[in-house]
Structure 1
Amino acid sequence: MTNLRTVSDTKRAFYSYHSRPINSLYRRVVEELMVEMHLLSVNVDFVYNPLYALGVVTSFDRFMVGYEPAQDKESIFAAICRSVEGDPQQYRQHAEAFKADLSGLALGDLQTKLDQAKTSAGDGLQGKLNMVATQANAKYSRLMAVGLYTLFETVDAAALDDKEKREEMLKTAAEMLALPADKVDKDLELYRSNLEKMAQAQEVMKDILAAERKKREQRAQAKQEAAATTDAGETPSAEPTDSTP
């Protein structure tokens, strides 16, 4: 019997690929994404597809906005993918290709292609949608729901502003791709909510960092002023005069 990788194995692998500490505000984001991808990767019913890749990349990029040091972001993403025995380049390439297929499409065009997903294959976008729609027995993932949301966001982000229309549109799209519509709805509401919370947390962190930077600058200025005052107050000591006649 093959021993399945455990979450601990995956976490150890991650830190072997990325040894630098994770910024505290983003640590939970990184670990939750890594654990979710791990649990899917060891599930016998899970099937990788471009929609899943798009969801992974979008989730990482959206939740890691503002990460410092910025140069660590790609190292972290690569470490997450490799820790679950995936290829970070493949994830990026598939996600970008999916979004490129949407170039120039109107919302109605996307909906038409989704409507034909189960019956029409081919190259490009139609082929990718057909791949998802014909995997009805594959393990569903929240990250696939994020990928679906990203399709609409890429084509017409404004169409997602109206809650009632958004929910109806995404429900229909989920059914066309043989995804569980109720789960998709719940997962996307949580996704949107978590994005808002993360944005708020990032603003709070910016304010805290700005306040700390201002205090450091004020302390440095005070030291300079104190040093200047001390220098100005120092005068050469007078030589004693000889008063002996």
Structure 2
Amino acid sequence: MNNNRTVSDTKRSFYTIHTRPINSIYRRVVEELMVEMHLLSANADFQYDPIYALGVVTAFDRFMLGYAPEADRVSIFNALCKSLEDDPDRYKQDAQRLESLADRLSGQELLSWLDRSTSFEDTADLQASLGAIASNPQFKYSRLFAIGLFSLLEKADPNLVKDQETRNNAIAKVSAALHLPEDKVSKDLDLYRSNLEKMAQARIVLQDVIQAERKKREKRETKVTAGPSADSSDSNN
């Protein structure tokens, strides 16, 4: 990304690419993710990697769950990446590749893969990326990278992240292997999980509002269809 571009430039680009309005509770999610990705991309120490890509895709999918129409959700993600002068297909393909890897491994096998004590022929480039992260003292850690790690662990074995002690042990192992700030990773993932719960509650409220509005609309339409006789009948009662 051109480092001279401002957040306003990125937002302007986004709304030029995706021109349809975004539902209110989701607009904040999209813009916060956009700003986070912009600031990371503009940082001299930041380097794209597949785990970060998985974090972006996972965060977007989880927070945009239930967004309709589906075609708009695809358009929003594409615009998000393109507004940062990046390729949405690269994000999706890298995320899919890591998810496929986690699908075929147990939780312990994944942890061994992440600390590079276990390797597979078809993941040599991915493990080279892990090695580069672990050996880079200037590695730019991000919340989205942590979400990518969390998604991998959850995909390989949901029990790894289900209770706090097991989750903390897994995070400690991965953080040590990749030289990540363990406390920061834990806090970011706690906040992520908390925000997912809040978003789920907001979706329920939104659905209640939509259903109430739909009932009101149907009632009005019924009255219009019934005509003046319905109003007369109501007044007699």
Q: CA deviation at 1:67?
A: 1.0
Does structure 2 retain, via aligned residues, the 8 Å contact 1:121–1:127?
A: no
Aligned-partner residue type, residue 95 of structure 2: A
Does structure 2 retain, via aligned residues, the 8 Å contact 1:14–1:83?
A: yes
Matching of residues 30-179 of structure 1 within 5 Å: 30-116=30-116, 123-124=122-123, 126-179=127-180
Q: CA deviation at 1:94?
A: 0.6
Deviations 1:133-171 (A, max 9, x none): 333422111100000000111111133121122122112
Number of the residue aligned with 2:14: 14
TM-score, reference length from structure 1:
0.86
Structure 2 vs 1, CA of residues 98 and 211 (structure 1 numbering), >3 Å: closer, same or farther?
A: same
Structure 1 CA distance for aligned equivalents of residues 131 and 122 of structure 2: 10
Structure 2 CA distance for aligned equivalents of residues 230 and 194 of structure 1: 48
Q: What SS class does the counterpart of residue 103 from structure 1 fall into?
A: helix
Does structure 2 retain, via aligned residues, the 8 Å contact 1:136–1:179?
A: no
Structure 2 CA distance for aligned equivalents of residues 139 and 9 of structure 1: 23
Higher helix share: 2
Does structure 2 retain, via aligned residues, the 8 Å contact 1:51–1:132?
A: no
Q: CA deviation at 1:127?
A: 4.1
Identity of aligned residues (%): 53
Structure 2 vs 1, CA of residues 206 and 8 (structure 1 numbering), >3 Å: closer, same or farther?
A: same
Q: CA deviation at 1:103?
A: 2.5
Bigger mean CA deviation after superposition, 11-20 or 144-153? 11-20
Structure 2 CA distance for aligned equivalents of residues 185 and 71 of structure 1: 34
Bigger mean CA deviation after superposition, 134-143 or 40-49? 134-143
Structure 1 CA distance for aligned equivalents of residues 82 and 52 of structure 2: 16
Q: How many residues align?
A: 230
Structure 2 CA distance for aligned equivalents of residues 129 and 13 of structure 1: 32
Deviations 1:205-229 (A, max 9, x none): 0011111111222222233344565
Aligned-partner residue type, residue 86 of structure 1: D
Structure 1 CA distance for aligned equivalents of residues 147 and 197 of structure 2: 15
Structure 1: which 5+ residue stretches go unaligned?
A: 233-245
TM-score, reference length from structure 2:
0.88
Structure 1 CA distance for aligned equivalents of residues 201 and 41 of structure 2: 32
